[in-house]
Structure 1
Amino acid sequence: MISQENSESSSQKVMVGPQRMPSLVALRCFEAAARLESFSRAADELHLTHGAISRAVRAVEQELGGALFERRNRRVFLNDAGRLLFDGVHAGLAQMARAAEAVRQQVAGRPLLLSCEPTLLMRWLIPRWGDFQARYPQHTVHLVAGGGAVEWGRGIDLAIRRNDFDWGRNVRVQPLCAERMGPVCQPDRLAQFFVSGGHGSLELRGGAPLLHSRTRPGAWADWRRTAPDQPPVPVQQVPGTGDLVLEHFYLSLQAAAAGLGVAMGPKLLVQDDIAAGRLVAPLGFVPDGSQYCLLSLQDEVAGSLKQLLAEWIRQQMER
């Protein structure tokens, strides 16, 4: 009897002891390949080679004793065993990412950095920023003005940009809203810059002073291509006599509000001025084919400050 009890005790010790597990690095490679259904895309995401992903997945399969993928036509698909493992690994990595993010913010005390195009920052984001602070007073976010390529090495966490440049393969992109453009001017100068057209509509008067900016020099020409209903007035890429060229886009909008001419205004950036009566948009707005996007290098962790800020930005853009 004593011998039997010792045998059972030994058996129990073996069952409850630590189980062999594939390495965390290999499991991370497996998770990326399974989620993206591609070894190549997983390699890009993790900054590894295709061969490194393949070897990692093979190591996991050997450790667990069976195949996890079906390979067909250069693509990979999870089998039943693969799906079972993926569900657990994906949930586990997400939980670890949340914990790491919480520790990073607690230990470093570094505020989150949001980079935004200067005109959008001044004319749209800052007027609304009080709402975010009122909702999340416990969090600190620093706003940074920047355009074009994002300098991720400076600690930028999120960036708002218009998709008029190549931001790279590894950047996460969330479309926010389409860019819609239209001529805007001071209300008191409406009759001076516009003339009545057919069916009670208005048309841009020939010779009206146009306001250009060096940061978006093709704005007027782009609008002409996307507004075919307008009569052929001489809107050129090169400013004409009487036109005014300013260094930055926001200066052209300020000049329009001062009555110096007609600026090309994005709806997103002039809607507050229109509501306040500082500007009018007599011809409305048309899409110019571009859009604003939210950029980041990593996926948002549920419940993190980064996720809260991204969701708030999306809500504000939809209004």
Structure 2
Amino acid sequence: MRQHITSLPALVCFRVAADLESFSKAADRLNLTHGAVSRAVRLLEDDLGTPLFERRNRAVFLTDAGRRLAHVVARGLGEIEQEAQRIKAEHTNAPVTISCEPTLMMRWLIPRMPQFHVANPTADVRLLAGGGPVTLGSGVDLAIRRNDFTWPESYLAQHLFDERIGPVCRPDKAKDFFDFDRMNAAAMLLHTRTRPTAWATWAEITGGTCRPNPGQDFEHFYFSLQAAIAGLGVAIGPWHLVQDDIQAELLAAPQGFRLDGSAYFLLSVQESEGESTVAQFKHWLADLAAKEAQA
């Protein structure tokens, strides 16, 4: 059987010592002791059966064999380092799929994604609309969810923001639907099948009762909000979903916003590595949520 030469660390020590022609300087660069570098080189020389350095008056000089081996080792370790960097880059820049509740994705996340791409131009992030229970690791890397269901205890849950809700309507309709900040009988209540208890929740947190106003049902939350923008009536609008429309004066919130007891979280399966796209997105999203919470 072919006998293997000494370990990779010994070759690393030899490479640096050969480059600097100094055991002391190599020890400093590698953060090792002079003795450790000397022993590693001696082990390599014993394996090869020939000196690699000529030692004279506390100085070392490469022998002919040492120069030949130094050239090959430098080339070989250099190729290993380059391939390791390529593999790392492939892992770091691998596509990351993020599942997000449809209305939150449409009205909050997508408008802010250009900020992420400016800060992380090589990141490949793909958004997938979805709500409720999610299986991470099988086509989905991260998920943004409201805590209205129970997710596995193995998931890491990073708090993003608390949910605040309030009635919203088109600004020029506020005078028709509200009397001194109180909703009147002329207001049509816009309901959504994806959050059917929204108006009951608003009545509960404000200490009121559900008004017997006429209503209209919509299949998705974003349809009810779009109907409010169109002036059809009043919808329950979560702050993060309507803040841009309020700033653009497309919607008004005559009664303000109240905490409803729920919150949004970013779900993942494990701690992300320092420069991976997953880590970049998690840090960016946490910073974004914190800044908007202070606004």
After TM superposition, the score normalised by the length of structure 2 is: 0.67
Alignment match, 2:115: 131
1:288 is displaced (CA, Å) by 0.3
What pairs with 1:137-152 in structure 2 (closer than 5 Å)? 137-152=121-136
Equivalent AA in structure 1 for residue 262 of structure 2: S
Equivalent AA in structure 2 for residue 217 of structure 1: P
Taking the aligned partners of 2:260 and 2:252, their CA distance within structure 1 comes to 19
Equivalent AA in structure 1 for residue 266 of structure 2: L
Q: Secondary structure at the match of 2:194?
A: coil
Equivalent AA in structure 2 for residue 176 of structure 1: L
Q: Secondary structure at the match of 2:164?
A: strand
Alignment match, 2:210: 234
1:102 is displaced (CA, Å) by 8.2
* 1:167 has 2:160 as partner: no
Unaligned 5+ runs, structure 1: 1-11, 17-99, 197-201
1:152 is displaced (CA, Å) by 2.1
Over aligned residues, Cα RMSD in angstroms? 2.5
Equivalent AA in structure 1 for residue 280 of structure 2: L
Alignment match, 1:118: 102
Equivalent AA in structure 2 for residue 206 of structure 1: A
Q: Secondary structure at the match of 1:152?
A: coil
Taking the aligned partners of 2:133 and 2:267, their CA distance within structure 1 comes to 11
Taking the aligned partners of 1:315 and 1:119, their CA distance within structure 2 comes to 21
Q: 1:222 aligns with which of 201, 208, 211?
A: 201
Q: 1:298 aligns with which of 270, 280, 293?
A: 270
Taking the aligned partners of 1:234 and 1:152, their CA distance within structure 2 comes to 38
* 1:106 has 2:78 as partner: no
Taking the aligned partners of 1:154 and 1:268, their CA distance within structure 2 comes to 29
Unaligned 5+ runs, structure 2: 1-38, 44-83
Equivalent AA in structure 2 for residue 132 of structure 1: F
Deviation digits for residues 266-318 of structure 1 (CA, Å, limit 9, x no counterpart): 00110000000000001110000000001001112222211110111112212
What pairs with 1:173-192 in structure 2 (closer than 5 Å)? 173-192=157-176
* 1:204 has 2:176 as partner: no
Runs ≥4 residues deviating over 6 A: none
Alignment match, 2:260: 288
1:109 is displaced (CA, Å) by 6.7
Taking the aligned partners of 2:256 and 2:202, their CA distance within structure 1 comes to 11
* 1:194 has 2:178 as partner: yes
Taking the aligned partners of 2:86 and 2:285, their CA distance within structure 1 comes to 21
Question: For the pair shown, which has the larger CA radius of gyration, 1 or 2?
Answer: 2
Change (3 A) 1:131 1:109: closer
Equivalent AA in structure 2 for residue 208 of structure 1: A
Alignment match, 2:192: 213
User: Is contact 1:193-1:204 (8 Å) kept?
Assistant: yes
Deviation digits for residues 116-140 of structure 1 (CA, Å, limit 9, x no counterpart): 1100000001111111111111111
Equivalent AA in structure 2 for residue 224 of structure 1: A
Count of equivalent residues: 213
Equivalent AA in structure 1 for residue 131 of structure 2: G
* 1:315 has 2:287 as partner: yes
Sequence identity percentage: 47
After TM superposition, the score normalised by the length of structure 1 is: 0.62
Taking the aligned partners of 2:205 and 2:116, their CA distance within structure 1 comes to 35
Deviation digits for residues 140-183 of structure 1 (CA, Å, limit 9, x no counterpart): 11111110011325321111100000111111111111000000
